[in-house]
Amino acid sequence: MHIHILGICGTFMGGVAALAREAGHKVTGCDAGVYPPMSDQLRALGIDLIEGYGAEQVQLKPDVFVVGNVVSRARRDDGTSKFPLMEAILDQGLPYTSGPQWLAENVLQGRHVLAVAGTHGKTTTTSMLAWVLECAGLVPGFLVGGVPLDFGVSARLGALAAGQERPLFVIEADEYDTAFFDKRSKFVHYRPRTAVLNNLEFDHADIFPDLAAIERQFHHLLRTVPATGRVVSNGLEEALARVLHQGCWSEVRSFGSAVSDFTAQGLHHAFDVLRAGQVVGRVEWALSGEHNQLNALAAIAAAEHVGVAPATACAALGRFRNVRRRMELRGTVAGIAVYDDFAHHPTAIRTTLDGLRQQVGQQTRILAVFEPRSNTMKLGTMKAQLPWALKEADLAFCHTAGLDWDAAQALEPLGEAGLTAGDIATVVQQVLAAVRPGDAIVCMSNGGFGGIHAQLLQALAARFTPG
C-alpha cells in the first residue's frame, strides 16, 4: 500500500509514518515548513517529503491519503485554500482517512492495546509502560508523543512475545480531535483492552467548551474497553470519578489515593509500591516529583494486566531514563544548569517546578522561562493560574509573542519576579542579567522555543567562561 500523509512532521503523524514504513508500506508525505528533527528521522527511513500542500500531489496517486488534524478547510484573506491538496482530494473523490483511523485499521487491529490518556503525563507514562513491558521480555509496539531515551525512537511495531495471545501495543491516547472531518477524540479509535486514565482537567479550550465536554469524550473511551479489559484510574481525580460514574463495564484498578489499589510510600525518588496495602516492590530512580510517582503507579497497574508482576515493573522503572524534553538537562555553565521541559499547561508548569524544587533544594534559585504556546494558553483561558503555577520559581520570564492578552498584567502578583518580553533575544538578555552561578534555569514550551536553550548556554559561556 502507498500512503501519502498530510501533516507528516507532527509527532503523531510522524509516528504513524514510521510504523507504516516498518510494516512494509510505501510512505510519502507533506507538511508546511518541513523541519528537523522529524524530517531527518523520516528521510532516514526512506520517506520522501514534500514542502507544502500543493494540489499537484494528487499525481502521486497513493492508495489513500492520510490526513493529520493540522489540515482544515481554512481559507486565506484572498479566498484561496490554505490546503489546496485537500480541496483537490475532495473535488476528485479520492480516498482519504485520518491518522488514528488508519492506525486502528492497519496496525492496532488484532493487538492488545494499552492506551494512556490524561491531561498530563501521557508521554512519560506511555514511555514507562513500554519500557516495563520491554524489560519483561514482551517486545511491545508503541507510539509515543516524544522520544523515550531507552528506545531512541518514538514508534515501533513490536512483535508477538512467547506466552501472549496477542502482540502488545502501547499508545499515547490523546483527547484532541481526530481530523477536520472527524471531531471525535483520537483515542476513541484505539479500542484498548487496558486503558489508563492518568488525570483530567480542562484543556484544549479551542475545541472544548468546558471540562464536562472532555469528560464525555473520556467516557466514550471507556465504552470501547471490553468486559475482560482493565481501566486504571487516578483515585485522586474527581473528574475521573465522574467519568467512571457515567458507566464502566470493565475491571477498575485505582492508584494514588490512600484507599486506592496501588499506592506509594516513601519519597518521590525512592518509594515502596503497595498493592491492597501490601508492599509488592520498590522504585529507586533519578526522577523527581509526585507526578512521576503517580505515573509510575499507573504504569505498574497497567503492566500487571498483561502479566507483569509489580516487583518486575518496579525493577524496570529503576532503570527508566525518561523522555527527551522532560526535565532534560541541556547543559551546565558555571554551575548553572539549563533544563528543557515540555510543560505548557499551568498544572504541568507547577508540577515541573515542584519536582525541580525537591531535587535542587531551597538554596538553589529556580529561573522559569516559559512561553504560553498551546492553543489554550494563547487564548488566555488559564492566564489567572500562572502565578500559582510559578510559585516555586524565584524568577519567571514569559515570552509573549503571539498572545492577545496582557502577560505582564497576569504576572503582576509575582511583583518584580515576573518579567515579560516579546522576542527571544530580549528574554535571553533578561535571564543573563539576573542569573547567578549555581542557579537552575528551566525552559518550558510545547514547541521549539526558538532554540532558546542553545542561545542561553552560548550566552552563559560567553559571560562566565574565563578568557
Cα–Cα separations (whole angstroms), residue 107 to 103, 137, 300, 396: 5, 21, 25, 44
User: What is the pLDDT averaged over residues 95-123?
Assistant: 96
Name the architecture of domain 2-99.
3-Layer(aba) Sandwich (3.40)
pLDDT of residue 297 exceeding 90, the answer is yes
Which cell numbers hold the place of 376? 489554550
249 pLDDT band, cuts 50/70/90, is very high
CB 178 within 8 A of CB 186: yes
Domain 328-464: CATH superfamily is: Mur ligase, C-terminal domain (3.90.190.20)
pLDDT at 36: 64
220 is in an annotated binding site: no
Kindly tell me if the per-residue pLDDT of 192 is higher than 90.
yes
- Three-state DSSP state, 26: strand
pLDDT digits (tens, 9 = 90+) for 310-365: 999 999 999 998 877 777 888 999 889 999 988 778 888 888 898 889 888 889 99
Least confident of 41-50, 185-194, 371-380: 371-380
121 is in an annotated binding site: yes
pLDDT reported for residue 467: 61
User: From CA 369, how far away is CA 223, in angstroms rounded?
Assistant: 41
Between the ranges 129-143, 359-373, 422-436, where is the mean pLDDT highest?
129-143
- pLDDT, residue 59, reads 97
Query: What value does the mean pLDDT take over residues 244-258?
Result: 96
pLDDT in tens, 370-383: 888 776 677 777 78
Q: Is 120 annotated as a binding residue?
A: yes
CB of 45 closer than 8 Å to CB of 18:
yes
Strand pairing class (278-284; 270-275): antiparallel
- Residues 387-420 as b or e (16 or more Cβ within 10 Å = b): bebbebbebbbbbbeebeeebeebbeebeebbbb
pTM: 0.83
The answer on whether 426 is annotated among ligand-binding residues is no
Quote the longest CA-to-CA distance of the chain: 68
Round the average pLDDT of the chain to a whole number and report it.
92
Instruction: Give residue 325's region: left, alpha or beta (phi > 0; psi -120 to 50).
Output: left
Question: Measured between alpha carbons, how far is 374 from 203 in angstroms, rounded to an integer?
Answer: 9
Checking if the pLDDT of 35 tops 90, the result is no
Pick from 195, 179, 197, 175: nearest CA to 187: 175
**Is residue 14's pLDDT more than 80?**
yes
If we measure between CA atoms, which residue out of 259, 256, 175, 253 comes closest to residue 219?
Answer: 175
Which contacts qualify for 422-429: CB closer than 8 Å, 24 or more apart?
A: 423/399, 424/399, 424/449, 424/450, 424/451, 424/452, 424/455, 425/455, 427/369, 427/397, 427/399, 427/452, 428/452, 428/455, 428/456, 428/459
pLDDT at position 7 is 95
Position 439 scores a pLDDT of: 93
Given a cut of 70, is residue 262 above it in pLDDT? yes
Whether cis (ω within 30° of 0) applies to the bond prior to 466 is no
Domain boundaries, the chain: 2-99, 110-317, 328-464
Phi-psi sector, 395: left (phi>0), alpha (psi -120 to 50), beta: beta
The confidence score (pLDDT) of residue 209 equals 87
Higher pLDDT, 392 or 94: 94
CA distance 379 to 372: 9
pLDDT score for 334: 87
Residue 447 has pLDDT above 80, yes or no: no
- Which fold would CATH assign to domain 110-317? UDP-N-acetylmuramoyl-L-alanine:D-glutamate ligase (3.40.1190)
Transcribe 236-284 into DSSP letters. Answer: T-HHHHHHHHT---SEEEEESSTTSSEEEEEETTEEEEEETTEEEEEEE
> Residue 118, annotated ligand binder?
yes
Digit-coded pLDDT (tens) for 199-246: 998 877 777 889 999 999 999 999 999 999 999 999 999 999 999 999
For residue 122, say whether it is annotated as part of any ligand binding site.
yes
The pLDDT assigned to 407 comes to 86
> In this model, does residue 293 exceed pLDDT 80?
yes
Taking 90 as the threshold, does the pLDDT of residue 10 lie above it? no
- Identify the three-state secondary structure at position 74: coil
What is the percent of the chain where pLDDT is above 70? 99
Give me 135's grid cell.
524489560
What is the C-alpha to C-alpha distance for residues 406 and 420, in angstroms, rounded to an integer?
10
3-state helix, strand, coil in the chain (%, to 5): 35, 25, 40
Compute the distance between CA of residue 38 and CA of residue 82 in angstroms, rounded to an integer: 22
Q: For residues 13-37, give the mean pLDDT.
A: 90
Rounded mean pLDDT of 60-88?
95
Q: Computed from CA positions of residues 271, 275, 279, 281, in that sequence, does the dihedral angle turn out positive or negative?
A: negative
- Check pLDDT > 70 for residue 37: no
- Closest-CA residue to 172 (of 245, 139, 123): 123
Q: How many CB atoms lie within 10 A of CB 244?
A: 17
Q: How many CA atoms lie within 13 A of 370 on its CB side?
A: 31
- Res 399 pLDDT > 80: yes
Q: What is the rounded CA–CA span in Å between residue 240 and residue 229?
A: 18
C-beta of residue 336 within 8 angstroms of C-beta of residue 438: yes
Split at pLDDT 50, 70, 90, the class of 277 is: very high
